[in-house]
Amino acid sequence: MADIDPQLPTSMPIAGHFDPVVTPRAVTARADGKIDLLGLPRTEITRLFTEAGLDAKAAKLRGKQVFHWIYHRGISDFDSMTDIAKAMRPWLDARFVVGRPEIVVSQHSEDGTRKWLLRTADDHEFEMVFIPDADRGTLCVSSQVGCTLNCRFCHTGTMRLVRNLTPGEIVGQVMLARDALGEWPKGAMDGLDDEEAEGDYSADGRLLTNIVMMGMGEPLYNYDNVRDALKIVMDGDGLALSKRRITLSTSGVVPMMEKCGEEIGVNLAVSLHAVTKEVRDEIVPINRKYGIEQLLQACADYPSASNARRITFEYVMLKDKNDSDDDARELVRLIKQYKLPAKVNLIPFNPWPGAIYECSTPERIRRFSEIVFDAGISAPVRTPRGRDIDAACGQLKTAAQKMSRADQDRLAEEKQVALG
Ligand code: SAH
Ligand code: SF4
């Protein structure tokens, strides 16, 4: 594939003959020469301030203040950072910016779901979705533009991977959602240890309470950037979202799972979707590389898994493919065999033009759910949301990126080769 960088990764195992991940860029180069601070860790902000001429002590203080303004208050204009000396603000403004991904389109569903089509500075489109519920509001975040994997029921899988999103583009989705929902704390802030700030932000009734890495892309194939972005999202001085409110969904990149648990420690969701090698090989082709047993063992070994923090198994319901009573019983058997603290999320298949599957009937889904539930495992059926705007998680599509059938077939072949 021409747009795939053959360079080997430093921290990631290889899924096929070549590295399926393009080289990440830490800082987005801008035409005006300014550096975008969004997505950079505090230490890096401090380093850049030192490099630009501040002494170590000043750089550290300014780094802390700027980080707090960016992530705690949602401020991107240095002039509004009122606890920073007036003379300092133009100095910052001449060298740095705090960016956001550009919004191309924003859509609002009848059921309150919101979807945004976003654009990177180098002109690639990706999407995010906000799903409000009675007791929570979940933002579905993308990790890549397109996906190198090729799950047969997933629309993103038909898109060519354009590139990994940077930490700034990943955190930027959360920032944009907060902007759009009007959720930044208001009021005066005199200093960093200000009590008001703390209390204000942990208040209940927030719209955006949870994040799921279930948008476009495979987060564990963009591991470093996803980790860096989530660290910022979890930082107590900024967005301060608890790791218990963040879920990372993987199709089963087994060698990265342990590291993910140790370094990020968020909840894990696994796109299982099938219980036999034959069917999983077909619908989730990474299974040919890392099989079901290996995957479930990695789940059993996942560092933070416990009864309080169960692993979610996602299971898309495909008519006559993976939805029989036997499939449900085998699912139960596997979960018990590996003694997994688990919950099963049954997802009605969301069809897209050109998809070769159909959704299971509601009766079939109910029966499947009962079998799993009767075995003592929670198995809710996910209610489709935002269908009128095509916003279901994992069903994010970019009209601008629609491919011809011939292109899709060629890409599918290339991906098969890549998976080996
Ligand atoms: N790459 C990661 C995360 C993104 S996909 C992964 O595969 O887990 C997020 C979820 O949406 C996955 O469980 C995926 O299988 C599911 N999904 C994808 N396409 C879908 C569709 N057409 N209908 C229902 N669920 C789908
Ligand atoms: Fe990629 Fe996940 Fe879609 Fe599979 S389901 S093609 S891993 S985004």
Which domains are seen in the chain, by residue range?
102-406 (3.20.20.70)
Q: In the block, which residue shows the tokens 């299982």?
A: 272
Nearest CA-CA partner of 330 in 259, 400, 277, 255: 277
Write out the catalytic residue numbers: 127, 393
List Cα–Cα distances, 146 to 306, 391, 395, 401, in angstroms.
Answer: 32, 16, 12, 9
* pLDDT for residue 145: 93
Report the C-alpha dihedral over residues 302, 304, 310, 311, rounded to 10 degrees: -30
d(CA 148, ligand 2 centre) in Å: 8
CA dist 92 and 105 (Å) reads 31
Tell me which residue has its CA closest to atom 8 in ligand 2. Answer: 217
* pLDDT for residue 4: 34
What is this structure's pTM?
A: 0.86
Cβ contact 38:99 at 8 Å: yes
* pLDDT by 10s per residue, the chain, length 420: 333 333 333 334 334 434 455 544 545 568 889 999 999 999 999 999 999 999 999 999 999 999 999 999 999 999 999 999 999 999 999 999 999 999 999 999 988 999 999 999 999 999 999 999 988 999 999 999 999 999 999 988 888 888 999 999 999 999 999 999 988 876 444 343 443 343 333 334 578 999 999 999 999 999 999 999 999 999 999 899 999 999 999 999 999 999 999 999 999 999 999 999 999 999 999 999 999 999 999 999 998 777 778 999 999 999 999 999 999 999 999 999 999 999 999 999 999 888 999 999 999 999 999 999 999 999 999 988 887 877 655 555 544 444 445 555 655 666 566 555
Q: Which residue from 284, 314, 323 has its CB within 8 A of the most atoms of ligand 1, so it is best to mutate?
A: 314
**Total number of residues shown for the chain:** 420
- Identity at 393, one-letter amino acid code: C
Structure tokens at 151: 């799950």
Q: Which residue from 271, 295, 350, 387 has its CB within 8 A of the most atoms of ligand 1, so it is best to mutate?
A: 271
Phi, psi of 267 (to 5 degrees): -65, 150
Q: Going by C-beta distance under 8 Å and a sequence separation of 6 or more, which residues neighbour residue 265?
A: 243, 303, 304
